[in-house]
């Protein structure tokens, strides 16, 4: 206590640093725990399966995107939902959007075309979910399995909830980095992305 009275500025600074580190650590725990929990193991059905877009190359989904689409197709085959929404716009100069590439991929892998709803908007996760929310509402869909990479689970669930979607993360490790080093990088990157969203929103 005497040291605090003698150095109030340093004490306040130290307290601020500890508080910040505690908040970052808390976010890291949330991200890690969410990454290792699959809501589909506890929830049988939802109104839709929502696939977050990723890179595509002239209509061909990248390995990361293909992994997400394969997982969405599996959930559909299991009868978990009757609709699959594929999200994502394209980059300047692209002939196809992520949503279009994903739609074609799913049809080629046995998902009926009339079950797929492409939402070709959004260059960020939040923008894509923001575009999907009114599409779901207009179709009377309230709940969704959210398909992305595991370390995105906490952030996409929170974003979905903020947009009025009852979201349940069901990620796939097939599309995620497989080495310990790249997984660690993914957790670190997503911890700060989750922290940024908590502080500043979309």
Structure tokens at 5: 């009275």
CA distance 122 to 111: 23
Long-range contacts of 71-78 (CB under 8 A, 24+ apart): 71/147, 71/170, 71/171, 71/172, 71/174, 71/175, 72/106, 72/111, 72/147, 73/106, 73/109, 73/110, 73/111, 75/40, 75/49, 75/145, 75/147, 75/170, 76/49, 76/111, 76/115, 77/110
76, pLDDT greater than 60: yes
Nearest to 24 by CA among 158, 147, 151, 187: 187
pLDDT value of residue 187: 86
Query: What residue has token string 């995620």?
Result: 176
Superfamily the domain 39-177 falls into: HUPs (3.40.50.620)
pLDDT value of residue 45: 97
Angle at 73 between CA 63 and CA 85, to 5 degrees: 90
If pLDDT is split at 50, 70 and 90, which confidence band does 176 have?
A: low
How confident is the model over 2-60, as pLDDT tens digits? Answer: 655 565 666 566 556 666 676 677 778 888 888 888 988 899 999 999 999 999 999 99
Structure tokens at 42: 């506890």
Whether residue 143 contacts residue 46, with contact meaning beta carbons closer than 8 Å, is answered with yes
pTM of the model: 0.88
Q: Give me the mean pLDDT over the 108-114 stretch.
A: 97
Give the rounded percent of residues in the chain with a pLDDT score beyond 90.
Answer: 66
pLDDT value of residue 6: 62
If pLDDT is split at 50, 70 and 90, which confidence band does 69 have?
A: very high
């Amino acid at each position: 206590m005497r040291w605090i009275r003698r150095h109030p500025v340093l004490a306040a600074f130290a307290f601020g640093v500890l508080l910040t580190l505690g908040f970052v650590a808390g976010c890291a725990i949330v991200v890690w725990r969410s990454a290792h929990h699959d809501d589909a193991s506890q929830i049988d059905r939802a109104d839709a399966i929502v696939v977050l877009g990723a890179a595509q190359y002239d209509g061909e989904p990248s390995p990361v995107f293909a992994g997400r689409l394969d997982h969405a197709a599996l959930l559909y085959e299991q009868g978990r939902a009757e609709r699959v929404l594929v999200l994502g716009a394209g980059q300047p100069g692209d002939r196809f959007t992520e949503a279009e590439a994903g739609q074609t991929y799913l049809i080629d892998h046995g998902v009926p075309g009339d079950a797929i709803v492409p939402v070709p908007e959004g260059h960020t996760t939040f923008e894509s979910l923001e575009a999907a929310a009114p599409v779901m509402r207009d179709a009377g869909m309230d709940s969704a399995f959210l398909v992305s990479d595991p370390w995105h689970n906490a952030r996409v669930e929170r974003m979905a909830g903020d947009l009025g979607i009852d979201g349940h993360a069901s990620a796939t490790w097939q599309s995620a980095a497989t080495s310990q080093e790249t997984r660690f990088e993914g957790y670190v990157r997503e911890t700060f992305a989750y922290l940024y969203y908590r502080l500043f929103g979309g």
